[in-house]
Structure 1
């Protein structure tokens, strides 16, 4: 299985290398929220790879990997839950619920001060811990699924199982590590997500139908305005 960091070209083996990478990212990161000693900072590489850093004073407490992606869904009424995660609904153009989602949220620190109700475009990134090509889509594919497996667990987690059709592919590489990764736009059940996997694991082509188990990170751009 691919680690979350490996999915965006930031795989490291030694703890010291991880500390060095986080320290370098912290020095270049944009601060999006500050409350006393606690801050939230986002570092974005030119490849689109991202690290969300939660700090307390000079200490980095939490590091969450993700990717800069365009919105592909509409989120409704996200709610913070224990563990620093968010539960929300994804809705269609008629405001009908497509699915519930459990995710990390880049702008979690800004959610509490946002005027309710919170609803709008959201980008959803899935870090493909396990990804398999299961077929080809020559036409519309019935039965696409998005199952927020972590939303229904005894301990909420930002994970999901999905099937999707690859709409577009971009090969990226992180200059600092030299590691390549694939960012693929997927059509799943009623909305689009961006899937990130280490390059060639697996090799993807437009029109592939993939089955994925992965870690879910969302971004609601309007929360920063």
Structure 2
């Protein structure tokens, strides 16, 4: 199974090598903002790949891989869930909706800039999301006809454009926290290999149409028999991370906060 980092061209031989690579990216990162005792710094690459670092006086608290998403989804914000290991990885619950606000399905996604935007996401508000789906395992068919034929003898059949918010369900008998994961089946609209200019490694990017809209899909080429092409049908388990591109509440002005605190 590919790691999230390998889906944007960052692989390592071992833990020490991974640490060196993260240190290099942190050195090349740019400040994006602060919240309380924490700072967000972002390394980004011409390929679209990025890593968001949350820093405190103790060092790196969280490092989240992402990508400059081209696709957009309409959603209604609901609430943040709690990640048991990292508060900067708390997933945002939304309903993916159509142009009339009708719900396709609920979904959980991480936000790459949660440090700066968490307090600006209001429950019930309509927002626009750019969501990236990092492949944790993916099958590919040449086209919809091949996909349909492959399911001929299967008891459960999937539509060529369908999505199950798998991170919202726990296996029977287990009480697992909600996760930003989905089992996605979709049609490749655009595809191409990108080069991470910092590491020199390539990764697969694609725009994939599924139920509810389009997602930016990222995958390690090592997990694919051949590069993706438009018209392919893909299916697999994906980790989701994104950014709210429209619908955030206005950030409080520092001067206003000072007056509130003095009052």
Residue 159 in structure 1 maps to residue 176 in structure 2 = no
Is there any run of 5+ residues in structure 2 with no aligned partner, and where? 84-89, 149-157, 171-175, 251-263
The list of structure 1 runs, each at least 4 consecutive aligned residues, that deviate by more than 6 angstroms after superposition, is: none
Q: Give the alignment's TM-score, normalised by structure 1.
A: 0.90
Cα separation, 2, equivalents of 1:100 and 1:197: 24
Q: How does 1:101-116 map to 2 (within 5 A)?
A: 101-114=107-120, 116=122
- Partner in structure 1 of residue 10 of structure 2: 10
Count of residue pairs brought into register by the alignment: 223
Q: Give the alignment's TM-score, normalised by structure 2.
A: 0.77
Higher radius of gyration, 1 or 2 = 2
Cα separation, 2, equivalents of 1:129 and 1:135: 20
- Partner in structure 2 of residue 146 of structure 1: 163
Q: How does 1:169-184 map to 2 (within 5 A)?
A: 169-184=191-206
Cα separation, 1, equivalents of 2:97 and 2:71: 13
Cα separation, 1, equivalents of 2:67 and 2:118: 23
What RMSD in Å do the two structures reach over aligned CA positions? Answer: 2.2
Higher strand share: 1
Is there any run of 5+ residues in structure 1 with no aligned partner, and where? none
C-alpha displacement of 1:132:
0.7
Cα separation, 2, equivalents of 1:110 and 1:91: 25
Cα separation, 2, equivalents of 1:216 and 1:124: 7
C-alpha displacement of 1:10:
0.5
Cα separation, 1, equivalents of 2:249 and 2:221: 32
Higher helix share: 2
Cα separation, 2, equivalents of 1:112 and 1:72: 19
